[in-house]
Amino acid sequence: MNNPYSKAPDEQAGEFFRLALAFLSKHKIAPTPVNYQLAYDYVSGKNKQLKTLLDEHIGVSETVSPENLWHVYQQFYQQDIATLENMRQELRQLIANIQNEFKRSGGTITGYSNRLDMFASVLNSEPSQEEMTSEVDSMIHDTNSVAESQRQFNSQMTDIISEVESLRSEIEQIKEESLTDALTGISNRRAFDNILEKSLQSANDQNSPLSLLLIDIDHFKRFNDNFGHLVGDKVLRFLGKTLKRCIKGQDIAARFGGEEFAVILPYTSHIGAKVIAEMIRKSISAIELQDQEKKKSYGKITASIGVSEYLPNEASSTLIQRCDLALYQAKKEGRNRVIVN
């Protein structure tokens, strides 16, 4: 596994060290190795989902319980490490099995080759009928043994290939999970960053349009304060489902951070992007959220949306910044609207 902290300059790492300790002290968190890693990644900004989750815990209470911190650590670090280590162990065992099978098969083939040489020498010595019969019987026996050994080897290799395919599927699943937001089921910020860079490169190469949407739930904090974080999570899941329903083809929806979402629209100009943005906005505001068990209404939610079309050779950060300004303008003008920048 590559060291994720190897590229940080010494001065920057030192600054993060001081900020991490200050963060732990401010929120009365014990400076254990686990908590320090959480704090370091929080202040360095290298894991935005972790930062959002810790901010939510801190928003409820100025301090975070050791149990909650351990739960966060397990969610972001321990599970993947343990799973990958188990896979490494399984692959080591598979390799050992393959090596043993080749050794055993190689030994059998070598013995059979020697037996053929011996049979050839017997034939060259003008053997009697009895000797010929005996040698032929021995060759039939040895040939059957090699054939059986080969069948066993093929069976072993089939089983090993099946295990390798199973491991590959597990690795693909872990890869997919690492790029998926656990709460909403759409792409996370890490996946968004990767896909956006590739999409911009493709737009440049093909001289094709591309647009970006940034979507923010209006007054989400107030909604959380009134109804609690569990209901807030339901709102976020609802928005994720709405985005998946409204996009198609190569369009990508992602949770950008907190209550903010993003949509990448390849081959789409700002004109088409505004149409899609309006459809998303109306789909969000058209639904009244309800608790079916408690027969309780949470009312309607609305969202503000910023739209920007990619400019040739524009940096991804600049595109995001322009789109963020459009989103800010939508909120400034009264929310529940789409602004193109």
Is 268 in contact with 211 (CB distance < 8 Å)? yes
Catalytic one among 85, 130, 172, 259?
A: 259
The type of residue at 315 is A
- For 255, the 3-state DSSP assignment is strand
Residue 59 CA to residue 61 CA, distance in Å, equals 6
Angle at alpha carbon of residue 185, lines to 183 and 188, rounded to 5° = 85
Residue 319 CA to residue 327 CA, distance in Å, equals 12
Is 62 in contact with 98 (CB distance < 8 Å)? no
* Token pair 């909120």 in the structure block, residue: 331
Is 257 in contact with 189 (CB distance < 8 Å)? yes
Catalytic site includes residue 62: no
Q: What is 298-329 written as a DSSP string? A: EEE--EEEEEEEPPTT--HHHHHHHHHHHHHH
What is the phi/psi pair of residue 309, to 5°?
-95, 140
Residue 334, C-beta contacts closer than 8 angstroms, at least 6 positions apart: none
3-state helix, strand, coil in the chain (%, to 5): 65, 10, 20
Residues tagged active-site: 259
